[in-house]
Amino acid sequence: MSVSLAPNSPITPEAGRVLVVDDHRSARESMAEILRQSGHTVDAISSGVEALGQLEQASYDVIITDLKMPGMTGLELIERLTQRRHGAQILMVTAHATVQSAVEAMRHGAFDYIQKPFTAESLEKFVARAIQHGKLLDQRRKLTDASDAPVMIGDSRPMQELRARIAQVASTSETILISGESGTGKELVAHTIHTSSRRRESPLVSLNCPVLSAHLMESELFGHERGAFTGADRARVGRFELADRGTILLDEVTEIDLGLQAKLLRVLQEQSFERVGSSETQQVDVRVLATTNRDLQTEINEGRFRQDLYYRLAVVPITIPPLRERLDDVPALVDLFLHAAAERIGKPPCQIEPDAMRLLGEYHWPGNVRELSNIISRAVVLNGGQPVRADEIRPWLLQTDPQPTSGSDVPVGLSLHEMERQLIEATLDQFGGHRAKTADALGIGVRTLSGKLKSYGYAPRTKEFSKAA
């Protein structure tokens, strides 16, 4: 039994360099020909010893090796490869599939495990996934090597626009207000801005505003002198002083008390402040980044946030898109979280079945990227070696079933057929015409839903019902 019997998500084919290692001539030539027809550059050799020699002369994106080979087995080849920098993703091929050998192969560095017999299409998809994963790792490695910057995963249009905005503002010293729902990655964006700025050699100092009382908040921001208040037995340096020449991140800035907002406004205007209990003015050179998950206009209208402070903070506003608006990024994020969780826990990365990946790609993600990360971590912790199925993940997702109406709202005398039709129409409208989500919410199959919509005269393109229905 293999660890992964099928690729876990649709992959856009991308040509790469592939090395096929198999002692059976017909098998290696067959695999090589299939991959060449897919556009890959392929070399095919008959032993692990030859493979090690070949890697001295050329580099590859993917290495496909058989498990059972005379002289040096596939596992022994993988062990030797871990001792050198080769940069390739390894696919193990065998007809002697066991969970133990699959786990052993992946512990020694194999990206995935293919069981014979397999189709040409399956081989192509495994290789495409391996190439995509390798390029993702390369991107993360280059970003880390270049500036130790955190990695922002995703190539969807919203993420491309977000990266472009960050590139525009990072090199300046302007104050930036980062808005977005909880779990979207506001702190990650702040770190990316700092590490991409001219201040990256200086500290980025963060303050989590919601966890502090107004009294402690002032001391944390500006520091205090000894004896300034009960318990102040020594002087304390505040976050603004610590961030001098660097950046300060005010996480969830709307939680700062109104009285303290006025003092914060002065720092933004004059780059100066006094410690609590001192009359001596401190001058600092600090760039301010602030985050919020609230609608600041509502906070201003209801008197909880100063309008003048808002204008000072929102010199350059950046809004982070929720995950439901960039679902194309879900497969890449899943891949990242799978390997990160596996590394933390110390077990091989598990695989996600196609139906489970489709479920993740259609979910509305109220908790955004943080929720996805938690779901994948849970899957890795609980995984017993088999690919993760949709029915395992579904109970962990927040359901969006329509809320039942009270008895007084039920129209008396309406036929059951008409009530069913109204419920289906309302649910379909709630999910923007998305049939899979509608069927899931109603607890019926997509085919059943489509049949009912057809009987109602539903026109998918216009989302209207014919007059004859």
Q: Which of 319, 339, 361 is the last residue of a domain?
A: 319
At residue 423, the pLDDT reads 81
**Structural domain includes residue 455:** yes
**Structural domain includes residue 91:** yes
**Domain around 73:** 17-144
Q: Identify the weakest region by mean pLDDT among 24-38, 39-53, 67-81.
A: 67-81
What tokens appear for 292 in the block?
A: 């919020």
**Structural domain includes residue 402:** no
Residue 1 confidence (pLDDT) above 90: no
Residues 297 and 380 in one domain: no
* Portion of the chain with pLDDT greater than 90, in percent: 37
Residue 407 confidence (pLDDT) above 70: no
**Per-residue model confidence as pLDDT tens digits over 422-460:** 888 888 877 777 887 787 777 777 777 777 887 777 655
> Residue 340's domain is classified under what CATH number?
1.10.8.60
434 Cβ partners below 8 Å, 6+ apart? Answer: 362, 428
> What are the angstrom distances between the C-alpha of 388 and each of 4, 6, 75, 238, 398?
9, 11, 25, 48, 18
* Portion of the chain with pLDDT greater than 70, in percent: 85
- Which residue matches tokens 């036929």? 415
Pairing of strands 464-465, 458-459: antiparallel
* Residue of 411 and 27 predicted with greater confidence: 27
**Per-residue model confidence as pLDDT tens digits over 104-136:** 777 777 888 788 888 999 899 889 888 877 876
**Structural domain includes residue 69:** yes
What tokens appear for 379 in the block?
A: 């899957």
Residues 362 and 389 in one domain: yes
Q: Identify the weakest region by mean pLDDT among 234-243, 277-286, 448-457.
A: 448-457
Mean of per-residue pLDDT scores for the chain: 82
Residues 245 and 282 in one domain: yes
Residues 253 and 123 in one domain: no
At residue 160, the pLDDT reads 93
At residue 349, the pLDDT reads 79
Instruction: Answer whether 179's CB lies under 8 Å from 317's CB.
Output: yes
**Structural domain includes residue 303:** yes
**Structural domain includes residue 6:** no
CB contact burial 186-202 (16+ within 10 A = b; e otherwise): bbbbbbbbbbbbebbeb
Q: Identify the weakest region by mean pLDDT among 96-100, 121-125, 200-204.
A: 96-100
Q: Identify the weakest region by mean pLDDT among 204-218, 260-274, 411-425.
A: 411-425
How many CB atoms lie under 10 A from the CB of residue 7? 22
At residue 79, the pLDDT reads 84
Residues 92 and 186 in one domain: no
**Structural domain includes residue 406:** no
Residues 49 and 175 in one domain: no
Residue 468 confidence (pLDDT) above 80: no
> Residue 295's domain is classified under what CATH number?
3.40.50.300
Name residue 17's beta-bridge partners: 41
> Residue 436's domain is classified under what CATH number?
1.10.10.60
Residues 207 and 229 in one domain: yes
Residue 214 confidence (pLDDT) above 90: no
What values do phi and psi take at 466, rounded to 5? -70, 155
Q: Which of 301, 319, 337 is the last residue of a domain?
A: 319
Residues 86 and 178 in one domain: no
What tokens appear for 393 in the block?
A: 């993940």
**Per-residue model confidence as pLDDT tens digits over 136-166:** 666 545 534 444 445 688 889 999 999 999 9
At residue 319, the pLDDT reads 95
At residue 212, the pLDDT reads 78
Residues 174 and 311 in one domain: yes
Residues 108 and 44 in one domain: yes
CA distance 9 to 334: 10
At residue 136, the pLDDT reads 62
Spatial CA neighbour of 21 closest among 42, 47, 57: 47
Q: Which of 92, 116, 144 is the last residue of a domain?
A: 144
pLDDT band at 170 (very low <50, low <70, confident <90, very high): very high
Residues 93 and 230 in one domain: no
363 Cβ partners below 8 Å, 6+ apart? Answer: 397
Instruction: Answer whether 248's CB lies under 8 Å from 288's CB.
Output: yes
At residue 461, the pLDDT reads 39
* Residue of 427 and 7 predicted with greater confidence: 427
Q: Identify the weakest region by mean pLDDT among 63-67, 89-93, 261-265, 403-407.
A: 403-407
At residue 184, the pLDDT reads 93
At residue 384, the pLDDT reads 83
What tokens appear for 183 in the block?
A: 């779990």
At residue 32, the pLDDT reads 93
**Per-residue model confidence as pLDDT tens digits over 287-331:** 999 999 988 888 999 899 999 999 999 999 999 999 999 999 999
Predicted TM-score (pTM) of this structure: 0.57
Instruction: Answer whether 186's CB lies under 8 Å from 293's CB.
Output: yes
> What are the angstrom distances between the C-alpha of 6 and each of 124, 173, 386?
11, 49, 11
Residues 42 and 119 in one domain: yes
226 Cβ partners below 8 Å, 6+ apart? Answer: 232, 233, 234, 235, 277
**Structural domain includes residue 401:** no
Average pLDDT over every residue of 81-103: 74
pLDDT band at 231 (very low <50, low <70, confident <90, very high): confident
Number of domains in the chain: 4
